[in-house]
């Protein structure tokens, strides 16, 4: 596994680029397809991790992203569970639910996951950009820190203590957020950007969250929220008899059973 993939050379031929940013697809192939419709003119699609787990169609999601020739992703905790095992049940993930996900994923797709880097770095106009799933416990370790659900800019600097890039773009916390230190003239201007989960609608039923990163004379992030019909995904959980489906349908998709 590669720790850091540097893609700066991808941005040498034009004066401007647009990157589609998706994250936490979590086995929701419908959300992935819907987001890609809005991002079809982007130069690259970048996922911030957790393509798999929680939802019913992890293998379908991996099949789909592997057909995209301008796609990059980083390793999320659910990819780490697939590669290195999962022993401590979470509210969103029971042991039998994890086994359901593991059993659904083809050997070819497991090989693909093995080659996902922990971080993607690039530079644009002398600004450094780091893409990763979340703050890690130790720099060389794959485990992530506990999510801070209500952070401040200062807290994010503390959490991402191993990273000093100008732009930190991350996911894992499914509600999006944006923090910068615009008013602090003593420090360099830094940004922490989380588009919010594309594939887990909670807290808003049928909501799709993603974004676009514009690279031109400046760097700008556009948050995008769209409504879609996630009932097919809920139906797939029932049809596949996915373990823990009642909790996922109710808490993560906001459907009443």
Segment near Fe ion (CB under 5 A), from 77-85, 118-126, 181-189, 239-247? 77-85
Counting contacts by CB under 5 A, is residue 172 touching Fe ion? yes
- How many Cα atoms occupy the beta-carbon half-sphere of 144 within 13 Å? 23
Counting contacts by CB under 5 A, is residue 197 touching Fe ion? no
Counting contacts by CB under 5 A, is residue 201 touching Fe ion? no
- Interface with Fe ion (CB under 5 A), residue total 4
Pick from 55, 56, 76, 176: which binds Fe ion (CB under 5 A)?
A: 76
What's the closest the beta carbon of residue 189 comes to Fe ion, in angstroms?
Answer: 27
Check if the beta carbon of residue 48 is closer than 8 Å to that of residue 169. Answer: yes
Q: Which of residues 104-133 bind Fe ion (CB under 5 A)?
A: none
Residue 234 phi/psi, 5° resolution?
Answer: -60, -40
Residue placing its CB nearer to Fe ion in the complex, 166 or 207: 207
Q: Which position's Cβ is nearest Fe ion?
A: 172
Element (H, E) at 189: none
Counting contacts by CB under 5 A, is residue 50 touching Fe ion? yes
Residue placing its CB nearer to Fe ion in the complex, 166 or 171: 171
> How far, in Å, CA of 93 to CA of 27, rounded?
13
Counting contacts by CB under 5 A, is residue 136 touching Fe ion? no
Q: Which of residues 80-109 bind Fe ion (CB under 5 A)?
A: none
Nearest-5° angle of CA 225, CA 45, CA 160?
80
Residue placing its CB nearer to Fe ion in the complex, 50 or 60: 50
What's the closest the beta carbon of residue 74 comes to Fe ion, in angstroms?
Answer: 11
Strands annotated E in 62-218: 71-73, 119-124, 127-132, 167-169, 177-180, 191-194, 207-215
Closest CA to 245 of 81, 93, 90: 93
> How far, in Å, CA of 226 to CA of 47, rounded?
18
Contacting residues toward Fe ion, per CB under 5 A: 50, 76-77, 172
């Amino acid at each position: 596994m590669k720790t850091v993939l540097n893609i700066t050379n991808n941005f040498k031929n034009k004066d401007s680029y647009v990157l589609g940013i998706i994250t936490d697809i979590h086995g929701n192939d419908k959300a992935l397809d819907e987001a890609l419709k809005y991002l079809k003119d982007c130069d690259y699609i970048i996922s911030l991790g957790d393509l798999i787990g929680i939802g019913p169609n992890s293998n379908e999601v991996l099949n789909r992203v592997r057909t995209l020739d301008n796609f990059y992703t980083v390793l999320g905790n659910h990819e780490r569970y697939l590669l290195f095992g999962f022993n401590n049940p979470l509210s969103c993930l029971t042991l039998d639910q994890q086994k359901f996900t593991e059993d659904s994923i083809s050997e070819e797709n497991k090989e693909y996951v093995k080659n996902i880097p922990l971080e993607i770095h690039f530079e644009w106009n002398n600004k450094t950009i780091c893409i990763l799933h979340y703050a890690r416990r130790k720099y060389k370790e794959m485990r992530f820190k506990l999510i801070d659900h209500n952070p401040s800019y200062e807290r994010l600097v503390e959490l991402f203590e191993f990273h000093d890039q100008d732009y930190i773009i991350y996911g894992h916390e499914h509600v999006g957020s944006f923090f910068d230190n615009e008013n602090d003239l003593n420090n360099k201007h830094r940004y922490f950007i989380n588009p919010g989960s594309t594939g887990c609608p909670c807290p808003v039923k049928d909501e799709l969250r993603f974004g676009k990163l514009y690279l031109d004379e400046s760097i700008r992030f556009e948050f995008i929220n769209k409504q879609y019909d996630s009932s097919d995904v809920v139906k797939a959980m029932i049809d596949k008899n996915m373990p823990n489906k009642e909790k996922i349908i109710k808490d993560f998709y906001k459907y009443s059973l």
